[in-house]
Amino acid sequence: MEQKNQIKMADGRNWLQKEYSGLGTLELVLIIVVLVALVLMFKETIVDFVAGILDGIESQGGTFNPTSIVK
Query: How many domains in the chain?
Result: 1
Q: pLDDT, tens digit, for every residue of 15-56?
A: 555 666 566 888 899 999 999 999 999 999 999 999 999 888
Computed on alpha carbons and rounded to an integer, the radius of gyration of the chain in Å comes to 27
Give me the helix-helix angle, 23-41 and 43-60, nearest 10°: 70
Buried b / exposed e over 9-40, threshold 16 CB at 10 Å, is eeeeeeeeeeeeeeeeeeeeeeeeeeeeeeee
Is residue 6 scored above 60 in pLDDT?
Answer: no
Q: What is the span of the domain harbouring residue 24?
A: 2-70
Half-sphere exposure of 40 (CA within 13 A, CB side): 6
